[in-house]
């Protein structure tokens, strides 16, 4: 499957490197200084678990031409940027499938303003990381053995088609686990219900996740915020909490919350997946918080703990295009 990764942010580089390592027909789109550095040095990541530095020479392009042909285009950018590139993608008639990867509360419809429904899938990468100085550190596994991360993908109607299975085989050949979701829109909404309180409590402690881990009050507020967001989603028509681990916020005895989530926030995995990601997630999170406010209004519900945590998210003067 001839694949274009449209965007050379952390997730785009991780995908390109993993696909290239296993012989995939992959091209990475980068621009400007990013393109020049990747051309000179290759795609390089540091394994967040082992510290191993990995480099791959991936085919690079600076733009997508109207006659370029790809079986799959993966767009791993932040939310606003994914929508912004839709007109560019729409000008090409030779892109068979387009997989938009990243946080999203608004579902499929924004993409359909530019692209035919039959081309579009949504997804989310189950890995995390960010920049430590000049090093891109990615945590894509919890143990030395096992798959290199996971990706969740889904069709508009939840069906599993021939192309869904072909995309699944593509990533699994690169040792990336694939979960085909029957309700990707709902999955992404519940991911916000987890991600927004997680980022908020991280910002509240100035990015120091070990400080979160040792603060029982902060962890209890975090858990309340997750339940508030989940309750809103259930009220507006998303009764299935997903992935199933989200039920932990409801089923776990309250007295166990500081112990269980303290261990989570104090882990090396959280340090990389959450701590490094906090450096770039603010503008995207604020945009989604505005969309979630519409769901709250529809539900007629308040979320005081979630609102309090989101108040700690930095409000930048302006934000340019970001790649996931």
pLDDT tens digits for range 101-146: 999 998 888 899 999 999 999 999 999 999 999 999 999 988 888 7
Residues 37 and 137 in one domain: yes
Q: Looking at the domain assignment, is residue 97 inside a domain?
A: yes
Span 174-193, pLDDT tens digits: 999 999 999 999 999 999 99
- 322 lies in some domain: no
200 shares its domain with 220: yes
The 3-class SS string of 193-262 reads HHHHHHHHHHHHCCCCHHHHHCCHHHHHHHHHHHHHHHHHHHHCCCCCCCCHHHHHHHHCCHHHHHHHHH
Q: What's the pLDDT at 320? A: 42
Same domain as 57, residue 23: yes
- Same-domain pairing of 175 and 196: no
Alpha helices in the chain (DSSP H): 10-21, 32-41, 79-84, 86-90, 109-112, 162-173, 184-204, 209-213, 216-235, 248-251, 257-265, 268-270, 278-299, 304-310
Q: Are residues 265 and 132 in the same domain?
A: no
Report the CATH number that the domain containing residue 154 is assigned in CATH.
3.40.50.720
Domain edge (last residue) among 182, 203, 227? 182
Residues 34 and 169 in one domain: yes
Are 94 and 207 part of one and the same domain?
Answer: no
Give Rg (Cα) of the chain: 19
Q: What is the pLDDT of residue 323?
A: 55
Q: Are residues 241 and 173 in the same domain?
A: no
Tokens of 9: 């942010």
More confident site: 93 or 46: 46
**What's the pLDDT score for residue 47?**
93
Total number of domains constituting the chain: 2
Q: Examine residue 315 and state whether it is found in any structural domain, yes or no.
A: no
pLDDT at 34: 95
19-23, 224-228, 245-249, 314-318: least confidently modelled range? 314-318
Domain-ending residue, one of 124, 159, 182: 182
Instruction: Report yes or no on 320 lying in a domain.
Output: no
**190, 58: one domain:** no
pTM above 0.85, yes or no: yes
The reply to whether 318 falls in a domain is no
| Phi, psi values for residue 255, rounded to 5° | -70, -20
* Structural domain containing residue 263: 186-310
133 and 171, same domain (yes or no)? yes
- Single out the residue in 134, 156, 182 at which a domain terminates: 182
236: in domain:
yes
- 319 within domain boundaries: no
Q: Quick one: 139 and 192 in the same domain?
A: no
Q: Is there a domain that residue 323 lies in?
A: no
Report the pLDDT value the prediction gives residue 146, as an integer from 0 to 100: 79
pLDDT in tens, 260-305: 999 999 999 999 999 988 888 888 899 999 999 999 999 999 999 9
Task: Provide the CB-side half-sphere exposure for 222 (13 A, CA).
Answer: 28
The verdict on 148 and 269 lying in the same domain is no
Could you give the dihedral angle defined by the CA atoms of residues 314, 221, 263 and 192, in that order, rounded to the nearest 10 degrees? -60
């Amino acid at each position: 499957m001839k694949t274009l990764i449209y965007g050379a942010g952390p997730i785009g580089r991780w995908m390109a490197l993993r696909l290239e390592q296993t012989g995939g027909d992959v091209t990475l789109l980068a621009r400007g200084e990013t393109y020049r550095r990747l051309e000179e040095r290759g795609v390089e990541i540091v394994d967040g678990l082992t510290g191993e530095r990995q480099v791959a020479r991936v085919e690079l392009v600076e733009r997508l031409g109207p006659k370029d042909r790809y079986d799959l285009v993966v767009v791993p950018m932040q939310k606003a940027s994914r929508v912004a590139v839709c007109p560019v993608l729409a000008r090409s008639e030779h892109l068979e499938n387009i997989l938009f990867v990243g946080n999203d509360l608004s579902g499929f419809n924004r993409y359909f303003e530019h692209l035919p429904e039959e081309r579009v899938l949504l997804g989310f990468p189950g890995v995390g990381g960010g920049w430590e100085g000049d090093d891109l550190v990615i945590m894509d596994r919890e143990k030395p053995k096992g798959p290199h991360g996971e990706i969740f993908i889904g069709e508009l109607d939840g069906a599993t088609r021939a192309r869904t299975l072909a995309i699944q085989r593509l990533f699994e050949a690169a040792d990336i686990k694939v979960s085909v979701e029957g309700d990707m829109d709902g999955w992404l909404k519940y991911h916000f219900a987890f991600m927004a309180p997680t980022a908020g409590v991280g910002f509240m402690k100035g990015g120091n996740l070990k400080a979160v881990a040792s603060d029982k009050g902060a962890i209890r507020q975090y858990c309340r915020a997750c339940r508030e967001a989940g309750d809103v989603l259930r009220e507006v028509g998303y009764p299935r909490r997903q992935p199933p681990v989200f039920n932990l916020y409801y089923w776990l005895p309250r007295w166990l919350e500081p112990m269980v989530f303290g261990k989570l926030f104090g882990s090396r995995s959280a340090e990389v997946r959450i701590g490094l990601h906090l450096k770039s997630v603010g503008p995207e999170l604020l945009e989604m918080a505005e969309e979630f406010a519409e769901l709250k209004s529809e539900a007629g519900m308040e979320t005081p703990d979630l609102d309090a945590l989101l108040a700690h998210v930095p409000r930048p003067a302006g934000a340019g295009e970001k790649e996931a």
